[in-house]
Structure 1
Amino acid sequence: MSTQCPFCSVQCKINVVSEPLPSGRFQYRAEGRMNAASEGRLCVKGQNAHQHAMSRERVLYPLAKKDGKFVRVSWEEAVSTIAERMGAIQREHGRDAVGVYGGGSLTNESAYLLGKFARVALGTKYIDYNGRFCMSAAASAGVKAFGIDRGLTNRLSEIPETDCLILVGTNIAECQPTLMPYFNRAKENGTYLIVVDPRETGTTAIADLHLKVRPGTDAALANGLLKVLLEERLEDRAFLRERTNGFADVEAHLKGLSLQDISELTGVSEASIRKAAIAYGRARTGMVFTARGVEQHRDGHMAVRAYLNLILAAGKIGRPGSGYGAVTGQGNGQGGREHGQKADQLPGYRLIENPEDREYVAGVWGIDPAELPGKGVSAYEMMELTVSRDIRGMLVMGSNPIVSNPNAGVVEEGLKSLEFLAVADMFLSETAELADIVLPVTSYMENAGTLTNLEGRVLLREAARPAPGEARHDWQWLCDLAARWGKREKFSYSHAEEIFEELRLASKGGVADYYGITYERLRQEEGIYWPCPSPDHPGSQRLFEESFAHPDGRAQLLPVDNLPPGEDVDPEYPLLMTNGRLLPHYLTGVQTRRSPSLTARAIENVVEIHPSTARRYRIEDGALVRIRSRRGTAVVRSKVTSGIREDTLFVPMHWGGIQNVNLLTNPLLDPVCRMPDFKVSAVAIEPWS
């Protein structure tokens, strides 16, 4: 069976081989299939992804909660119940009393259709998705600085060619491990590698310089790097003069900042800041990658802008071996945000409040632009609206918000207060357990569609096996549900390719233009970079070679303030906690915790704590500990390690219940992109008894 890994943004191609056993049953193994991104490699998650798809825990038929217990019902009853209950809520409280919550692992077709379904069938303005927590800071920064947001401005294959690499808040070794050979080859070629991370990781292990930054001070560190770059006269004045705006304001702002103050705030020595800046500035070519470590903060947008200032000042973009990359976390984190799941967007990265964009997409959908609702709110803000009862019914598709949102205790309270909750999932996730109706959906092995990897390369994933039980594709039940609201003619598709053909047209002329991409081309060419405006266009492998995507063709620099962490320590909460991922698991673990091979590698959650800190709080290695914040309490097992700052704790994000790190996290939102401040929470730690 030929398929594509459902997990990270590399989107590795896979062959799943079945082998008969003497018992008459089959065992399965996965092999990497050659492709341009992973070059045929698979990580441990890809090698075992088929285990969750074939799990006995799969939801195989619709479930309805009756008398507090789930019972099997027909698809007819399930869809009718959703239509009746949500319809009743909207009739009594208005169209916006129902919200839709999507996911960043959905195919482009499902993401597109979910956005259309919310706006056309339900008529609600409240739709957003868990990708808000993935790349919204980098996406908004890219749009403001460059005029366009695409994960990488150039190709993965250019990594070994560059002279200097800066990785900020990204642990490639555990989050995108099949990309590590690119960085290893770069090292072999003499590339100077700088990694910014408060922890020692598999990625920092290969670094020439590790900047162990204090969580929440990334913008200040970037300002320090740029200040040194300018002091050493390593900026590209010709590039700045000919291709950018705003540099004079940035230069004046930096003159008023003290490198000593930046060092004290960030916890990185002046010598190290200077060494990193000079290495990047003197390099002939350079690339900078950011990920959640720099983005999931109350100033994540501006922190990324600070690094984009550095790139633009050095003139290291738009040419071979030089560029910027926002390392997408989710499998379709890139495509999922381009075609209408975000509160403010329409397909093709069009804006729902732009009259021309509304008119164009409404024309494709065959409706009056006035029928389109306006802009809603971000994912976490939707959860707040469930608490306030502004949202009384919700449809959740491909996501587990009770675990993935910050301030998870409040999120659980809100979801429990809903008058009606429907969840479409393969498993009874923590969120699905609260639902009134659970719809069984197909896995990555069973549904066809396109996904867009971290490069901006659109890939086609074919269905490899029939759907088990009564599981249905997302587009099938969405069309059935739309028909119940009298919208059958707007949702009359017979297969995924028909949806993609409409997506092509809806994106035509937009920032994320897929019009020139077809299933047939994808089968022949493996993958095509967007923007691709016509069927004879080869796809845009490298952006900004001649101009940026703003109307004047110039990039925009902007002064960035040095801010302290969004929540600082005090005597009651004396430590900073950050969070992240582990190699064997993905997101909230709904899929990977159903894989015996992956679960065995990380059975329970842990907190990384420095030996000195552990001694101070009487924490023994391997002991259960209680972590408290102003929002809640979690209980996890301790892991004493010298590879973390003494003032910092690290807790992974893959578990629910009492092990859920997001019971502790800070819901403070970035004012620009509405990204929560996942990476900095003031906490206390103590032995659990």
Structure 2
Amino acid sequence: MATLPVDERRIIDQFGPHLSGTVSERQGAAADERLVKTHCCFCGQQCGIQLKVRGNDVVGFEPWYDFPFNRGMLCPKGVKRYLQGAHPDRLLTAFRRDASAAGGFSPMPYGEAISRVAAEVSRLQSAHGASSVGVLSGASLTTEKAYLMGKFARVCLRTPYIDYNGRLCMVSAGAGNKKAFGIDRGANPWDDMLGTEVIWAAGSNVAECSPITTNYFWQAREQGAKIIIQDPRITPIARTCDLYLPVKPGRDAALFAGVLQILIERDWLDHAFINAHTSGFDAVAEYCREWTLARTADVTGVPQKSLMQAAEWWGTAKSSFMLHARGIEHHSNGVQNVLGAINLVLATGRIGKPLCGYSTIVGQANGQGGREHGQKCDQLPGWRDISNPEHRKYIAGVWGIDEAELPGPGVD
């Protein structure tokens, strides 16, 4: 009979408890163990999780059943989330390049590393000006850290060149939202999907990248929703959806325009909403005329029958929910793709109503916070425009500097 190579207690200590274990195994017997409520940091879903802490070490986790978004559920990434704190590959010190050291780097004290960086920044800026130094940050930082990064770049370094990795992530969605709605914000909570008639997801492999969102899809389907998936690849969610649109890469804007043309031809529109809450619809309708059913099918690779079915389901429904992700955004025409999706929502009045909505499926932990609070090249904290004199004056006052000292926008 096979036996464990080490004691079971050691396995639990190193890798955490198994959820099928007993309550005592999961909660542990040590008096100093406690549960700390927090979020999983691996994607934009931000699922709630309870970390099991012994002393100052994270040794396991417990489901957080009361957290409203995931209600205790976690994907494989979330289940392993607690292991990263003590992972042997985690860097615990600064390193200097050292050709004589194994791997080419040797550790150095943080104080020495900070002094060296400060000296090099001062040398570069003295020789080449403040803008010779730039800052690239990340969307996995908390909102507070994102704020400090923006302030550090503009007040301490006096450089306009700050940006974050969201520029390679969902900035097309942010720009599209700003053009269409005047603001870069999420419009709906996921609960709004439950009870809607149609869910359309474009460019998102939700089953593998956002498993908890998939659960919302299944709950909505159990309540009668039809699922439309738009993706060049037959992803797991595409294999199980009600209608699959196998669009050619980069042709998403054409697909949306073709579907909108069908909605216009069949008069599956919300004219009251269009008149009260939109502008420029006539120009969009004129553009869509060239996107006949035959041409749209030829350009996108989606069969005419599927295009008609998508338009009919979306156009005749009383409620619907549109989502998209990086698949339609990471293109040279990513903003146009996003606006195409939004146009379907606006033309049918499917926002600001019960069971209706539009949202981007965010991939990183704090993409929106990173943009809105200082890391985006053209924004100041609180979604303020760095080129707006009133916004500049306000933030300069908060930071205790003269408005003229604030740099302008970085590379757009």
TM-score, with structure 1 as normaliser:
0.53
- By how many angstroms is 1:258 displaced? 2.4
Q: Distance in 1 between matches of 2:253 and 2:145?
A: 36
Does the 8 Å CA contact 1:95/1:124 hold for their aligned counterparts? yes
1:15–1:32 Cα contact (<8 Å) kept: yes
Find the structure with the greater CA-based Rg.
2
Q: Which amino acid in 2 is paired with 1:52?
A: Q
CA deviation profile, 1:72-92 (whole Å, cap 9, x unmatched)? 322221111111011100100
The corresponding residue for 1:129 is 164
Q: Which has the higher helix share?
A: 2
- Written as runs of structure 1 = structure 2, the 5 A alignment for 1:189-338 is 189-338=223-372
Q: Secondary structure at the match of 1:30?
A: strand
- Post-superposition Cα deviations, 1:474-505, rounded to whole Å, max 9, x if no partner, equal xxxxxxxxxxxxxxxxxxxxxxxxxxxxxxxx
- Where in structure 2 are the equivalents of 1:398-417 lying within 5 Å? none
Q: 1:134-213 alignment to 2 at 5 Å?
A: 134-151=169-186, 153-213=187-247
Say whether residues 1:71 and 2:106 are aligned partners.
yes
Native 8 Å contact 1:170 1:293 kept in 2 = yes
Post-superposition Cα deviations, 1:524-547, rounded to whole Å, max 9, x if no partner, equal: xxxxxxxxxxxxxxxxxxxxxxxx
Q: Deviations over 1:408-467 (max 9, x none)?
A: xxxxxxxxxxxxxxxxxxxxxxxxxxxxxxxxxxxxxxxxxxxxxxxxxxxxxxxxxxxx
For residues 256 and 58 of structure 1, what CA distance do their matches in structure 2 show? 55
1:80 maps to which of 93, 101, 115:
115
Q: Return the match for 2:71 from 25, 39, 43.
A: 39
Q: 2:386 aligns with which of 349, 352, 369?
A: 352
Determine the C-alpha separation between the residues in 2 that align with 1:339 and 1:45: 27
Give the SS at the match of 1:15: strand
Determine helix, strand or coil for the equivalent of 2:220: helix
- Are the counterparts in 1 of residues 147 and 373 from structure 2 also a CA contact under 8 Å? yes
SS of 2:258's equivalent in the other structure is helix
Structure 1 residue 19, shift from structure 2 partner:
8.8
State the AA in 2 paired with 1:14.
I
SS at match of 2:172: helix
CA distance in 2, matches of 1:79, 1:27: 28
C-alpha displacement of 1:241? 1.0
Structure 2 Cα separation of the partners of residues 256 and 215 of structure 1? 20
**Residue 59 of structure 1, CA deviation:** 1.5
Distance between the aligned counterparts of 1:63 and 1:98, measured in 2? 21
- Displacement of 1:256: 2.9
CA distance in 1, matches of 2:111, 2:86: 25
TM-score, length-scaled by structure 2: 0.87
Whole-angstrom CA distance in 2 between matches of 1:329 and 1:125: 26
Asked if 1:15 is matched to 2:50, the reply is yes
Distance in 1 (alpha carbons) for counterparts of 2:386 and 2:98: 39
User: In 2, Cα distance between the equivalents of 1:290 and 1:200?
Assistant: 16
- Alignment gaps of 5+ in structure 1: 21-25, 379-689
Listed as ranges, the matches of 1:284-683 within 5 Å are: 284-377=318-411
The 3-state SS of whatever aligns with 1:195 is strand
Letter paired with 2:142: T
Q: Is the 8 A contact 1:204 1:210 kept in 2?
A: yes
Match of 1:408 in 2: none
Residues in 2 aligned to 1:91 and 1:105: alpha-carbon distance in whole angstroms: 32
Indicate the RMSD between aligned Cα atoms, in angstroms: 1.7
Q: 1:106 aligns with which of 141, 149, 154?
A: 141
Secondary structure of 2:146's aligned partner: helix
Per the TM alignment, residue 17 of structure 1 is displaced from its structure 2 partner at its CA by 3.3
Secondary structure of the residue aligned to 1:29 is strand
Name the SS of the counterpart of 2:72 in structure 1. Answer: coil
2:374 aligns to what SS in structure 1?
A: coil
Give the Cα separation in 1 of the matches to 2:188 and 2:278.
19
Partners of 1:257 and 1:222 lie apart in 2 by 10
In 2, the alpha carbon distance for the partners of 1:76 and 1:95 equals 24
Q: Deviations over 1:550-599 (max 9, x none)?
A: xxxxxxxxxxxxxxxxxxxxxxxxxxxxxxxxxxxxxxxxxxxxxxxxxx
Deviations 1:297-329 (A, max 9, x none): 010001111111111100111011111101111
Is the CA contact (8 Å cut-off) linking 1:43 and 1:178 kept in structure 2?
yes
Q: Which amino acid aligns with 2:272?
A: A
1:60 aligns with 2:95: no
Q: Which residue of 1 aligns with 2:151?
A: 116
Q: How much has 1:193 moved relative to structure 2?
A: 0.9
| Cα distance in 2, alignment partners of residues 76 and 286 from structure 1 | 55
User: Aligned partners of 2:47, 2:228: CA distance in 1, in Å?
Assistant: 26
**8 Å contact 2:204–2:231 — kept in the other structure?**
yes
Deviation track 1:265-314 (CA, whole Å, cap 9, x = no partner) reads 11001111111011001010011001000111010001111111111100
The code of the aligned residue for 1:176 comes to S
SS in 2 for 1:112: helix
Amino acid of the structure 2 residue aligned with 1:16: L
Structure 2 letter corresponding to 1:244? T
1:205 positional shift:
2.8
Is contact 2:269–2:347 with CA below 8 Å preserved after alignment? yes
Q: Deviations over 1:326-354 (max 9, x none)?
A: 11110111211111101111001111111
Tell me the equivalent position of 1:687.
Answer: none
Change beyond 3 A, Cα 1:365–1:58: same
Q: CA deviation at 1:27?
A: 9.2
Partner of 2:132: 97
**1:31/1:47 contact within 8 Å kept:** no
- Percent identical pairs in the alignment equals 44
Question: Does the 8 Å contact 1:164/1:279 carry over to 2?
Answer: yes
Question: Could you report, residue by residue, the CA deviation over 1:228-259 in whole angstroms, capped at 9, with x for unpaired residues?
Answer: 11111100111111111111111112123322
In structure 2, the CA distance between the partners of 1:242 and 1:18, relative to structure 1 (3 Å rule), is closer
- Counterpart of 2:282 in 1: which secondary structure? helix
